[in-house]
Amino acid sequence: MASLEIVLGSIRLANPVIIASGILGTTAEGIKLLYDMGAGAVVTKTTTLKSKPGNPNPTVVSTPSGLLNSMGLPNPGIEEMSREVAAACSEGVPVIGSVAGSSINEFIEVAKRFEETGVVGVELNISCPHEKVGLIGQDCRLTYQVVKSVKDSIKTPVIVKLTPNVTDIVEIALEAEKAGADALTAINTVKGMAIDVNTGYPILGNRFGGLSGPAIKPIAVRCVYEIYESGVKIPIIGVGGISNWRDALEFFMAGASAIQIGTALMKGYQVIEKIKRGLIRYMKKNKLENLNQIIGLSHKRC
């Protein structure tokens, strides 16, 4: 029997396909729907203490190589979000609360409020390329401080979402692990921009945005591979451009214990079941019983 069950530290999930933060996941109904469509867990939209309107429009532009967004973390604030998340958790949905803040105290406060709702974990967004929080994940000392402060304040597992917009993602990953992170998510979007050649103006209201979708998959796979190779002991969740089971498999072989999907959901939620079915088929064909037999496989080949 091929099983898709996975363990991320103390988080046990029926399958490894997690919904990435930001695309969906702001209402209880929406979160429950994604779970009913087969997701192993759902990460909420990144949430701050107070509501945030986000960046000026336009905030999304489609480019030939992927989607560029500069949403600016629009969210209703933790007060409203915690009501929605608590409702989803009470129906048995494994929810991961995505946390951001403008200070360490705000990170702690939002994480604590998520903990009260019954989430299975919190994911610290220190990596958004079009928001100040993204600067945290580019600095070892700040990463350590934020992760350690949240870890010291809650019992719920803490996942740290990393940015590829650094010279060396491994040193940030190791710092997050040293600060007590229970798992790492790699990667957030890749910083980019687009210019309207008729006017010369940058297209996004915020000028800079984050690229997502298939174009960033090789970058994300490389990041997961390098982090795994560095010898981190905590599990890695791979994300970036995954749209089918083969993409997912690449991430497992690079060293991911679970995966997240974001942009691919825009073509329909069926992608969740398609990825799961493809993985099961592959495992049966290769007489594999669980995903542990694939995780990090490509490291043994070199």
Ligand X SMILES: Cc1cc2nc3c(=O)[nH]c(=O)nc-3n(C[C@H](O)[C@H](O)[C@H](O)COP(=O)(O)O)c2cc1C
Task: Give the binding site for ligand X (CB under 6 A).
Answer: 20-23, 45-46, 67, 69, 71, 73, 98, 125, 128, 161, 188-189, 212-213, 216, 239-242, 261-264
Nearest to ligand X of 18, 89 (CB atom)? 18
**Residue whose CB is nearest to ligand X in the complex, by number:** 22
- Residues 44 and 28: beta-carbon distance below 8 Å: no
Clarify whether 128 is annotated catalytic: yes
Could you give the CA distance from residue 290 to residue 247 in angstroms, rounded to a whole number? 18
Nearest to ligand X of 189, 206 (CB atom)? 189
Residues in a beta bridge with 121:
96
Structure tokens at 50: 């107070």
Could you give the CA distance from residue 13 to residue 10 in angstroms, rounded to a whole number? 10
Nearest to ligand X of 240, 296 (CB atom)? 240
Nearest to ligand X of 8, 216 (CB atom)? 216
> Quick one: CA torsion of 28, 87, 158, 173, rounded to 10 degrees?
-10
Residue indicated by tokens 């006017």: 199
State which H helix or E strand residue 183 sits in: strand 183-186
- DSSP H stretches of helix in the chain: 28-36, 78-90, 104-117, 133-136, 140-151, 169-178, 217-229, 245-254, 270-285, 297-301
Residues in a beta bridge with 60:
69
- Residues 77 and 50: beta-carbon distance below 8 Å: yes
Nearest to ligand X of 67, 256 (CB atom)? 67
Least distance between ligand X and beta carbon 285 (Å): 26
- What three-state secondary structure class fits 177? helix
Nearest to ligand X of 80, 289 (CB atom)? 80
Least distance between ligand X and beta carbon 264 (Å): 6
Nearest to ligand X of 104, 288 (CB atom)? 104
Active-site option among 128, 140, 223, 302: 128
| Cis ω before 58 (30° cut-off from 0) | yes
Could you give the CA distance from residue 22 to residue 151 in angstroms, rounded to a whole number? 23
- What three-state secondary structure class fits 256? coil
Q: In sequence order, what are the residues at sequence separation of 6 or more whose Cβ sits closer than 8 angstroms to the Cβ of residue 57?
A: 205
Could you give the CA distance from residue 45 to residue 51 in angstroms, rounded to a whole number? 12
What are the residue numbers of the active site?
A: 128
